[in-house]
Amino acid sequence: MREAQPRHTSMRGARGQRPRKGSQLRAWARHHRAMCRDSATRLIRHPLASLLTMLAIAIALILPAGLWLTLDSARLLDAELDESATLTAYLEQAVGDAEAGRVTEALRAHEGVAEARLITAEAGMREFQESLGLEDALARLENNPLPASVVISPRDTAPEEVEQLAGALEEVSGVDEVRLDLAWLERLRRLAELGQRLVLALGGLFGLGVLLIVGNTIRLSVESRRQEIEVVTLIGATHAFVRRPFLYSGAWYGLGGGLLAWMLLSLGGHWLASPVTALAESYGADYRMPSLDWLGSAVLLFSSTLLGWSGAWVAVNRHLADIRPR
Amino acid sequence: MIEFEHVGKRYGGRFEALSNIDFRVRRGEMVFLTGHSGAGKSSLLRLLMRLERPSRGRVLVAGHDIDRLHVSQVPYYRRQIGVVFQDHQLLFDRSVFDNVALPLTIQGMEPHEAARRVRAALDKVGLLYREKALPIELSTGEQQRVGIARAVVNKPALLLADEPTGNLDPQLSTDIMTLFEDFNRIGTTVMVASHDLALITRLRHRILRLREGRLVADEEAA
């Protein structure tokens, strides 16, 4: 079949003809699909090299992701600790047992108090003796030096609120002193905050690492496809067209690295789960090994893909500038 | 179709590749550009492809000063000129068909229509039966014809060729030139750079002679 060849007499203006909007959009989507497939095929064609790159990305992602998980579970622990934050009101020495009951009622009636439990002087003494093993020494004392006390659980466990409550309860008659030991709780909070910042800093640092890994890989792949880039540029490819396959490669690397990181995190979690639980049980705590939920997994995969894409973007733009057809 | 107005091109500070080039090529004309290597043939073609910009003067294509095209418009400009390279610039990792289809893919042409055009172009250069071959399996002459098919598949109004017969024997060279004449006959403006004087004088088309960056002769077709 021999067909009449180029039939045209006019140049469609040096400004160039662009296809109509609808077909342009379809062509754009078609090229995206083609490049998405093509770049995946290229990765699969060199399975070992691709796997190594993805593994490097995975390792860079695991540290911040693992730290974040640990911190997240520490936050759960923190919430539990909040519930156990209590105040102790020491009653005046002169207050007798009957009066102590009344004072306890008065304390319980306060709006900020969730629960108040009376510990009589004798009960306090018994507990003290048992916990310290000082029965003999204390038995020698003539009078019980311990006052009766009331253990109070506040409704609002925020440190400022608790402190305010303590002040208010000290005004109740019969109460000598209200003690709260929040210093260690405060310290734990500060530690958690430090941890959060550490995770952020590490996340940023290792995210940069992922960018560099992907960037370097894409740079090599741009270099190896230099001739192709020159040719398509010569025959009218736009920058976006040239960039597209590399962006998809970067995204695939990122997604692959994210998946690997997710797998390694799950494996590591399973591996550590039983000793961690056993350790926690020995402290009488019910602590479960943290694992990535759906949202966490989605965030991990999305951010790794995005990092891969951005790394490729930076690398391609840097190197396209160098590649000018000879 | 092509107008050079006192065009000069300087590389670096001193070397003057082209100086004061001034000529016009009418629509539908076929022109040879000749001269020794280093005379400025390639520089002139590179200006037309807008790979370089003139240091002085203006280059107009279809009435537009191509130096004033915005960077983002350059790809669209290049899609309208077909270029045949001496080293044919084929991509060796894909078939003859895919090589010829490349300009259409870049434009985002619908695959069915693109396939029809690719086959028509391959048929024109007599290589339809090799569409599935890889370029490496072809002879030099065949590779050059694939390069030509790629240059014309988009039906460009302007066809440029830089030493298209550089590596070919006389018979193949004549065949290639005949192909260009065929495209010219149906209205394409053709400009071929070649140092093969014996061949191009025989073909009786307008000849522009360059020497050391100057246009020294403009011989109308006999």
In this complex, the residue of A16, A227, A324 whose CB is nearest that of residue B79 is A16
The Cα B148–Cα B165 span in angstroms is: 11
The partner residues of B15 in beta bridges, in order of sequence, read B11
pLDDT at A81: 61
pLDDT digits (tens, 9 = 90+) for B186-199: 989 999 999 888 88
Task: Specify burial of residue A119 (Cβ count, 10 A radius: 0-12, 13-18, 19+).
Answer: buried
Pairing of strands A149-154, A175-180: unpaired
- Overall size of chain A counted in residues: 326
pLDDT at A8: 40
In this complex, the residue of B62, B123, B183 whose CB is nearest that of residue A11 is B62
Report the gap between the CA of A202 and the closest CA in chain B (Å): 40
CA atoms within 13 A on the CB side of A248: 18
For chain B, give every domain's residue range: 2-219
Report how far Cα A90 is from the mean position of its chain's Cα atoms.
42
| φ, ψ for residue B161, nearest 5 deg | -140, 130
Report the gap between the CA of B207 and the closest CA in chain A (Å): 22
Indicate which of A17, A18, A232, A235 best probes the interface with B, i.e. most B CBs within 10 Å of its own CB: A235
* DSSP structural state of residue B148: H
* DSSP structural state of residue A155: S
Question: Does residue B19 register a pLDDT over 80?
Answer: yes
pLDDT at A12: 47
Nearest to A304 by CA among A72, A61, A114, A76: A61
pLDDT at A17: 47
Task: Give me the tens of pLDDT residue by residue for chain A, a chain 326 residues long.
Answer: 343 333 443 454 444 445 566 777 888 888 888 888 888 888 888 889 899 999 999 998 998 888 888 777 766 666 666 556 677 888 887 777 788 888 888 888 888 787 888 888 777 777 777 766 666 666 667 677 778 888 887 877 777 777 788 888 788 778 888 877 666 667 777 887 888 888 889 888 988 988 998 999 999 988 888 888 888 988 888 888 999 999 999 999 999 999 999 999 999 888 888 888 888 787 766 667 777 888 889 999 999 999 999 999 999 988 887 776 55
Q: Strands, E, within A216-322: which ranges?
A: none
Tokens of A292: 């990535």
pLDDT at A179: 79
pLDDT at A181: 64
Query: Cβ separation of A31 and B105 shorter than 8 Å?
Result: yes
pLDDT at A194: 86
Tokens of A314: 């930076």
Query: Cβ separation of A11 and B61 shorter than 8 Å?
Result: yes
The Cα A283–Cα A277 span in angstroms is: 10
The Cα B66–Cα B93 span in angstroms is: 33
ipTM for the assembly: 0.86
The Cα B149–Cα A24 span in angstroms is: 24
Report the gap between the CA of B197 and the closest CA in chain A (Å): 25
Report the gap between the CA of A17 and the closest CA in chain B (Å): 7
Pairs across A and B, CB distance < 8 A: 126
In chain B, % of residues over pLDDT 70: 99
Instruction: Please state, in angstroms and as integers, the Cα–Cα distance from residue A4 to each residue in B119, B123, B124, B181, B182, following that order.
Output: 12, 10, 9, 15, 11
Tokens of A228: 């192709």
Question: Does residue B169 register a pLDDT over 60?
Answer: yes
The Cα A148–Cα A167 span in angstroms is: 19
Contact list, B102 vs chain A (CB under 8 Å) = 231-232, 235
Contact list, A26 vs chain B (CB under 8 Å) = 108, 110
The Cα A99–Cα A101 span in angstroms is: 5
Question: Does residue B123 register a pLDDT over 60?
Answer: yes
Q: Which overall architecture, per CATH, does domain A86-181 show?
A: 2-Layer Sandwich (3.30)
Task: Specify burial of residue B216 (Cβ count, 10 A radius: 0-12, 13-18, 19+).
Answer: exposed
Query: A95 vs B83, which has greater pLDDT?
Result: B83
Tokens of A246: 């590399």
The Cα B150–Cα B164 span in angstroms is: 13
For domain B2-219, give the CATH number. Answer: 3.40.50.300
The Cα A189–Cα A252 span in angstroms is: 39
Mapped onto helix, strand or coil, the DSSP state of residue B39 is: coil
Buried b (16+ CB within 10 A) or exposed e, B33-65: bbbeeebbbbbbbbbbbbbbebeebebbbbebe
